[in-house]
Structure 1
Amino acid sequence: MSVAELKKDAERRMQKAVETLKEELTKIRTGRAHTGILDHVMVEYYGTMVPIPQVANVTLLDARTLGVQPWEKSMMSKVEKAIRESDLGLNPANMGEIIRVPMPPLTEERRRELTKVVRHEGEQARVAVRNVRRDINQALKELQKKKEITEDELRRAEEEVQKLTDRFVKVIDETIEKKEAELMQI
């Protein structure tokens, strides 16, 4: 692998770490309703477990209420049960045509717990980015050992990888701050 390929690989892997973090943070619920909150709730559909958005239309009825409308009438009770039994602490109400899912307000204690979870997810993302940096730096040192690059090229490449690492860690920190502010908002 060339130095350019290694840097491109590092950037791709670091970007993936940030995307994974953002995906994990969408699972952490704030007081506000958003349609993505049910993306990970699974429901049985003809013997297969699928996410709710694959069997129902999920919409925002208002800032604190989701509307879930299964495409098949027979799925109403299964979807309602899946939402109730999920670890999201939601209590859906069947209104005949649509299932209303009100978002309960978060207590101060729960907000603090969720903030800790957010920080933990952020730290995992930072570790993932640093691991990528370590792997790429090792690969660069191997290239230098094989005399494919000079010592100066190695140092320059390591500095560029460090700048890339710093950039992604900054993005992670900003993402964490934004989520924490969202959680602490009443």
Structure 2
Amino acid sequence: MSDGVDLKELKRRMDGAISAFKSDIASLRTGRASANILDPITVEAYGSRVPLNQVSNISVPEARMLSVSIWDKSMVSAVERAIRESHLGLNPIVDGQNLRIPLPELNEERRKSLVKVAHEYSEKAKVAIRHVRRDGMDTLKKSEKDGVIGQDDSRSLSEKVQKMTDESIADIDRLLADKEKEIMQV
């Protein structure tokens, strides 16, 4: 929409935040080990932060074990540090250029820590959605100030933006509740 704000673009950006959240919580496995659990981890490499899978191969040799083969020998300590500091409760074992990561049994404490991580992911997604809303509202205010749209149109569009925001945050809350139930199920 040339006069005001592009609601489809805002919706696309909000949906992007929701899909990023879905992939984040999908990495929180409660059963068999999955290489996806390491997806959110980034490593300080060559002067910037890069995803772990861009400096190594990740495999699942056993049901409760992950294996990370690091390509560059100088990156081993950085990768180990990134995994330890990831709030996933993982303690890698260094074996040359490989890391073996035993996954702890899911006891009550471990389940609660996974729920905390899921809540952190949901808050990150909600903040992203609120940023999209703020961008839309700023665009509306600017369009109204410049005389591109009237006050009534601006109010109507801002209500639509707020409604999209509320629906997106409700989606995140619903996904979080489902994941929390899955994690806490014994």
Partner of 2:132: 132
Alignment of 1:19-168 (within 5 A): 19-22=19-22, 24-25=24-25, 30=30, 32-39=32-39, 40=41, 42=43, 52-69=52-69, 75=73, 78=76, 82=80, 86-87=84-85, 88-92=89-93, 94=95, 100-168=100-168
1:59 match: secondary structure? strand
**Aligned equivalents of 2:91, 2:70: Cα separation in 1:** 17
Deviation digits for residues 115-164 of structure 1 (CA, Å, limit 9, x no counterpart): 23422432343243234324422421332333322344223322321332
SS in 2 for 1:61: strand
> Offset at 1:91?
4.2
Please identify, of 17-26 and 54-63, the stretch whose mean Cα deviation from structure 2 is larger: 17-26
In the aligned structure 2, how far is the partner of 1:15 from the partner of 1:42?
Answer: 27
Q: Of the two, which has the highest radius of gyration?
A: 1
1:2 — aligned with what?
2
**Partners in 1 of 2:118 and 2:132 — Cα distance?**
21
- Are 2:119 and 2:176, in contact at CA under 8 Å, matched by a contact in 1? yes
Tell me, in whole angstroms, the C-alpha distance in 2 between the residues paired with 1:85 and 1:131. Answer: 29
Q: Give the secondary structure class of the aligned counterpart of 1:167.
A: helix
Gaps (5+ residues) in structure 1? none
CA RMSD of aligned residues (A): 4.1
Q: Percent identity?
A: 38
Distance 1:147 1:52, change over 3 A: closer
Native 8 Å contact 2:90 2:102 kept in 1: no
TM-score scaled by length of structure 2? 0.67
